[in-house]
Amino acid sequence: MTSLEYAPAPETTKPQIREHYGLFVAGNWVAPQSERYFDTVDPSNENVLAKVAYAGAADVDRAVRSARKAYEKYWSKMKPAERAKYVFRIARAITERSRELAVLETMNGGKPIKESRDFDIPTSAAHFFYYAGWADKLEWAMRAGREARPIGVCGQIVPWNFPLLMAAWKIAPALACGNTVVLKPAETTPLTALALAQIVQEADLPPGTVNVLTGDGATGAALVEHPDVDKIAFTGSTEVGKAIRRAIAGKKKRLTLELGGKAAHIVFDDAPMDQAVEGIVNGIYFNQGHVCCAGSRLLVQENVHDEIVVRLTERLQTLRLGDPLDKNTDIGAVNSKAQLDKIRELVRSGIDQGATLVQQSCALPERGYYFPASFFTGVQQSHRIAREEIFGPVLSILTFRTPDEAIEKANNTPYGLSAGIWTDKGSKNMYVAERMRAGVVWCNTFNLFDPSSPFGGYRESGFGREGGVHGLREYLAH
Ligand code: NAI
Ligand code: MG
């Protein structure tokens, strides 16, 4: 412990949170036909923030019908340059309300304010800005001579780790192409999606162009199964991704799936070590490790293993865990009790299977869901912590001797979302990068995002791309 402690520096911007939220359907806030509401909490202290409507199958049907009507009557008929103005308007509103949205995202999800403020919200706005620019240039995304046509009504189901950003990734390209949307946010993090619905309302989009239905997995399943939905875009667990694929098999419905990952993060002995260690920390501890592309399997060259472990052990002690609204916080709250239980269970399995656990030593807040930044040494390829997605601040460290061994170990996973490589040697970087079976490969950096750059996976990490012209094409008819 250092003697110079930071004073607390909590964010003071107060977001507007209503006591009750209805569903956002056809441009209005409506009571759920299910007549059910559920609590949404702040995972950092377990306080209830609001009551949120639960959308049942009848509500899903109403939202899909409103999206269909908006599609036929207004949105697909609108001149593309006009459509762009609305999408720009959403982008500007997110920017104008960025402070409030950042606080809301942090309160509802548990992530540190510095991340929601500097990453989630600006990147969400950036996606709307980027795709607004495409709306009147869609022909350029097509092969010569082919017409750019929208698909229709899109059902979009997003997870809780980047609630607003995942909504932005999905809604922005859908709207730019002339589709209408029914968005289903995750059960634990509905508030920024509902704030986005307010923004859509204020931006005066034609009623029904964007609908937001809060609910749980059954709500999502009803959206997947609705016969009048033309496309499903899903981000979440591999298990649910597989269920969705089975549910729509043989039907005329487009699908993109962005699922889990167990990314290899490879560090060679000639890597710039200071930067590599920061890259490892960013790769696994960003957003408490609730990141599908997290660098959760660290592969280090054997001769630098001990040095890296020493440096990481020291670095762990400097990470600050606590109130997510504090500007100094590096590790915030785990998103939910269920996720905390899952992390604990997998960490226990790592210890039981013989790996060695190293953790930051700090007191955890008494209320709320917290897990200290951790890593395991002595991990075997066969251990569960080397194979399964932990989705928490827990790194598994393995070793290799040659580039080919690193490649073989990196690809020894059912997943294939991202990978990272650290080496000073350009040719080695390229040699390894082109052999990674992963959708995104970061070289001498990690977790870098830009709306113009496509993101997505291979194998059990799903298919389809989000971002860039590739992400745009997922919302255009073939
Ligand atoms: P999940 O896949 O159950 O939830 C993601 C979204 O899908 C939520 O909006 C949920 O309501 C919805 N959903 C759930 N069941 C559905 C169904 N049958 N049909 C349609 N929609 C459905 O993920 P969960 O249970 O929250 O987390 C479990 C694990 O999944 C995590 O521990 C993590 O390993 C992984 N995960 C991966 C994510 C990623 O970004 N790839 C995001 C969230 C979770
Ligand atoms: Mg689930």
Q: In this predicted model, what pLDDT tens digit does every residue of 119-128 receive, in sequence order? A: 999 999 999 9
Do 51 and 38 meet the contact criterion of CB atoms below 8 Å apart? yes
Q: Which token pair is 354?
A: 């013989």
Given a cut of 70, whether residue 173 has pLDDT beyond it is yes
Name which residue sits closest to atom 32 of ligand 1, judged by CA: 391
Q: In what order do the strands lie in the sheet with 20-21?
A: 20-21, 47-53, 37-42
Given a cut of 90, whether residue 423 has pLDDT beyond it is yes
Given a cut of 80, whether residue 1 has pLDDT beyond it is no
CA distance 14 to 438: 41
CA distance 338 to 113: 22
Residue type, 50: A
| Rounded distance from Cα 338 to ligand 2 centre (Å) | 10
Mean pLDDT of 299-315: 98
Model pTM score: 0.97
Name which residue sits closest to atom 14 of ligand 1, judged by CA: 217
Q: What is the pLDDT of residues 252-277, one digit of tens each?
A: 999 999 999 999 999 999 999 999 99
CA distance 272 to 5: 30
Residues with CB under 6 A from ligand 1: 157-159, 161, 184, 186-187, 216-217, 220-221, 224, 235-237, 240, 243-244, 258-260, 292, 339, 342, 389, 391
CA distance 460 to 263: 12
CA distance 452 to 455: 10
The H or E element that residue 291 is part of is: none
Q: What is the pLDDT of residues 359-371, one digit of tens each?
A: 999 999 999 999 9
Mean pLDDT of 154-176: 98
Q: What contacts 477, CB < 8 A, 6 or more positions away?
A: 149, 150, 151
Domains, the chain, in order of start with CATH, read 20-258+457-473 (3.40.605.10), 264-443 (3.40.309.10)
Q: What is the pLDDT of residues 371-411, one digit of tens each?
A: 999 999 999 999 999 999 999 999 999 999 999 999 999 99
Q: Which token pair is 93?
A: 């509103």
Closest alpha carbon to 336 in 361, 369, 314: 369
Mean pLDDT of 18-24: 97
CA distance 346 to 344: 6
Given a cut of 70, whether residue 2 has pLDDT beyond it is no
Query: CA 368 → CA 37, 42, 333, 334, 371, distances in Å?
Result: 22, 8, 7, 8, 10
Confidence band, pLDDT 50/70/90 cuts, at residue 6: confident
Mean pLDDT of 177-199: 98
State what percent of residues in the chain have pLDDT above 70.
Answer: 99
| Rounded distance from Cα 235 to ligand 1 centre (Å) | 7
